[in-house]
Chain A
Amino acid sequence: MDYVIEMVEITRTFPGIRANDRVTLQVVPGSIHALLGENGAGKSTLMSVLFGLYQPEAGTIRVRGRDVRIANPNVANRLGIGMVHQHFKLVHCFTVTENIILGLEPRSGLVVDRKLAAARVRELSRRYGLNVDPEARIEDISVGMQQRVEILKMLYRDAEILIFDEPTAVLTPQEIHELMGILRKLAGEGKTVLLITHKLKEIKEVADTCTVLRRGRLVGTVAVAATSEARMAEMMVGREVNFHVQKGEARPGEVVLRVEQLDVRNPKGLLGLKQLSLEVRAGEILGICGIDGNGQTELINAITGMAPAERGRILFKGRDLAGCDVKRRTGLGLGHIPEDRHRHGLILDFRLDENLVIHGYDRPPFSHAGILAAGPIRSNAERLIAEFDVRCGQGAATPARSMSGGNQQKAILAREIDQSPDLLVIAQPTRGLDVGAIEFIHQRIIAERDKGRAILLVSLELDEILDVSDRIAVLCGGELAGVVAAAATDANELGAMMSGALRRVPA
């Protein structure tokens, strides 16, 4: 068998972690080869090694049978290897064409030959059905189109081996469907596709082979057609996976939050949220789902007070929140677990105990007359660490920066839940966490619901929404596309609502 790519016994470590431990990967030319694993399994690292972003400490790489050393992306490009990253590497104020030709500009004398460049882009775009506007600026186009620009970057460089790193994270179900088609077309034209993902459905849909990694090690390589999703999942996590979280029936009580005809502007000045109305009751979990950028952030910001509402009302326990700042709302019983734990959730350079009093540091018992009380701050931290099983190297004095993602999230959860809020707004709670941490957090959320709290759960993971929520509200284009009972719907219906194909708004 002639492999187009062979990575043999690749080892790559970072301080404190062995990202790839003697991993072997063999890829058949013209196939779609998936790389499956949870977060932290080492998939991105392995592909970054292939793309020349990192050097392996041990192991060999062979491309088309020849031993190679891929010192940097330039070398990878010359070998015909291209990569579409999870976080797009596009210069926002440049045009589509400028981004594609960067580093390999067609010249006319001293100057960049813009006409030739645009023509080439158009030609490639047509051939692979990618449909982009060469003159558009990146900051003005959709995420799906941005991804196609990334694909074009590779094709422009005559890449034969195309690596995709979690490409569907930011796409609508329809765009995902289109992407799957594009992948098949690429393979059909003889290109080899390497697909990094943790989504089993996608692997089943397009991949020929699948290599499973777990905690940096190779678990095995299987033919996709002959392997069930359950089997692949088991390989991925190493145990039988319970796909659904255990929960009892919800018993909703009074309306705790009522949003009426809310209009909120986004940072670009456009209306990110339009005429939105919904309500959340005590003792229920309302899940908000939608593609990233369809109003979720604006909704959270308006409810928590981080951004003003342009029009409409937010009533919390019957009280209009207009004019209440963030601190007031926290004081009234509105808790918030933010989406970005490093940006909003924690002050990484503070210690754990300092982070845990971020809401109450300026009041007794944590301070008196403006002077901090170290004792109560410390004992508060110790209590929460024990209750929520937060792992930290130096106890309450651990710098937040040195804690793992899962424990950082647990700390944030501990802090917010400890405030006994009547409404808990939770955004993307399990992003980047391993299965164990995810289970823990889902169980805590449901436990809070059973205590009678109202919970607004905003997440991009459809499975999480379907699993945890009692009712689900779908946002599309800043508007409410539907409100359904979780038990009465499925991923397909939600996907249709998320992409605007369906509306199920109760009258």
Chain B
Amino acid sequence: MTILVTMFPIALIYATPILIAALGGLYSERSGIVNIALEGIMMIGAFVAAAVTVALEPNPLAGYYGILAGVVAGTLFSLLHAFASVHLRADQVVSGTALNILAGGLTIYLCQIFFDQQRTTAFATGIAKVSVPGLAALPGLGPLLFRDVYPTSWLALLLVVATAFCINRTPFGLRLRACGEHPQAAASMGVSVVGMRYAGVLISGALAGLAGATLVLTQDIQYSLTSVHGTGFIALACLIFGKWNPYGVLGAGLFFGFSQATSIYAKDIPLLRQVPQDFFFMLPYLLTVIALVVFSGKSVGPRAAGEVYDPGKR
């Protein structure tokens, strides 16, 4: 049990970008647009954040400006997916894949232009961990959540609550969900399906950009082609496990965070000491496949997600 407590800080660091990106995916999918491009948007967000941070250092807020820039960049990039999927009614998986390829190329291309190498220059600190002494004294979760934690993790938790509130209680959330379940019904009630889906995709872009920025600033010292290494796809899996529900996503995200952290702590766990490193890298992906099978029967996504919206359909 204590090993779990020891692992918690690292697990939280790993879980945070997964969680944020998965929440982004939730907005998009709930509106009816499948967003495979979370990975690519995260790359864009990470690159921009790293670049801006390097450029603004040694300003103490450089990292935060970087995050802001990452959010904006992610939103703009996702505009492409929104336009292709909603207005041009493209196949959403193909469009998402295209954007992933594009993002990989664009980010490293710009690295070569700006930094003369195939990655950004390393930044000094990124963002710093923070402690809240009063709350850290609370028993149980206190030290885990309030001592030496990146503020982005708090942001992630806040976003979970905000998303639950927005999706379930507000008119916006009701309309968004209607667009994902039965867009013709929403349209007949005067809801702009196009508008809602754009909103869903752009929010997912903003959050994926945020996730990418967080990833690079809390887990790395620069942006390179392997910075994001599939986190965007793990976020998708997290969304599916979480059954498209914010609190489910929270649980799934933490679970994945722990499984990624296991590779570092394996040497401290007697049973796992002998296992080669590659298996730990493999673990999150393997677990995803297993859990997808286990949860497959019961997981029910938004009914109309992935379908092209055809206003003429009866």
Contact = CB atoms under 8 A, between A and B. Distances in A.
- Tell which of A98, A102, A105 has the most Cβ of chain B within 10 Å: A102
A92 B178 CA distance: 10
Contact of B188 (A83, A101, A107): A83
A34 B178 CA distance: 32
Contacts of B191: 102-103
Contacts, number: 65
Nearest to A75: B190
- Tell which of A53, A72, A89, A93 has the most Cβ of chain B within 10 Å: A89
Given A74-B190, A102-B191, A89 B174 contact: no
Contacts of A74: 190
Contact of A93 (B169, B170, B175, B181): B181
A90 B187 CA distance: 11
A388 to B, nearest CB: 28
Contacts of A104: 189-190
A86 B190 contact: no
B56 to A, nearest CB: 35
B186 interface: yes
A91 B182 contact: yes
Interface string B169-213: 111001101100110111111110000000000000000000000
Contact of A112 (B171, B182, B187, B190): B171
A328 B314 CA distance: 36
Contacts of B188: 53, 73, 83, 85, 89
B303 A112 contact: no
B181 A92 contact: yes
A115 B178 CA distance: 20
A73 B191 CA distance: 9
B314 A103 contact: no
Q: Is the interface of B mostly helix, strand, loop or mixed?
A: helix
A31 interface: no
Contacts of B182: 89-92
Contact of B184 (A86, A89, A98): A89
**Interface footprint category on A:** 20 to 34
A110 B303 CA distance: 27
Interface string B289-314: 00000000000000100000001001
- Tell which of B171, B186, B189, B314 has the most Cβ of chain A within 10 Å: B189
Contact of A73 (B170, B187, B314): B187
B190 A77 contact: yes
Contacts of B303: 92-93
Given A74-B190, A90-B185, A105 B178 contact: no
A158 B213 CA distance: 49
A102 B184 CA distance: 12
A93 B189 CA distance: 17
Contacts of B170: 110-112
Interface residues of B, number: 20
A112 B174 contact: yes
A445 to B, nearest CB: 27
Given A86-B314, A102-B175, A112 B189 contact: no
Contacts of A77: 190
Contacts of B187: 73
A111 B187 CA distance: 22
Nearest to B311: A53
Contact of A103 (B169, B177, B186): B186
B185 A102 contact: yes
A153 interface: yes
A128 interface: no
B171 A91 contact: no
Contacts of A83: 188
A99 B314 contact: no
Contacts of A72: 190
A98 B190 CA distance: 14
A94 B178 contact: yes
A420 B301 CA distance: 44
A94 B169 contact: no
A87 interface: yes
14 contacts: A72-B190, A83-B188, A87-B314, A91-B178, A91-B181, A91-B182, A92-B303, A93-B181, A94-B174, A101-B174, A102-B191, A105-B174, A112-B171, A153-B189
Interface of A: 53, 72-74, 77, 83, 85-87, 89-94, 98-99, 101-105, 107, 110-112, 153
Q: Which 8 A-B pairs have the closest CB atoms?
A: A89-B185, A103-B189, A74-B190, A105-B171, A111-B169, A103-B190, A91-B182, A102-B189
Interface of B: 169-171, 174-175, 177-178, 181-182, 184-191, 303, 311, 314
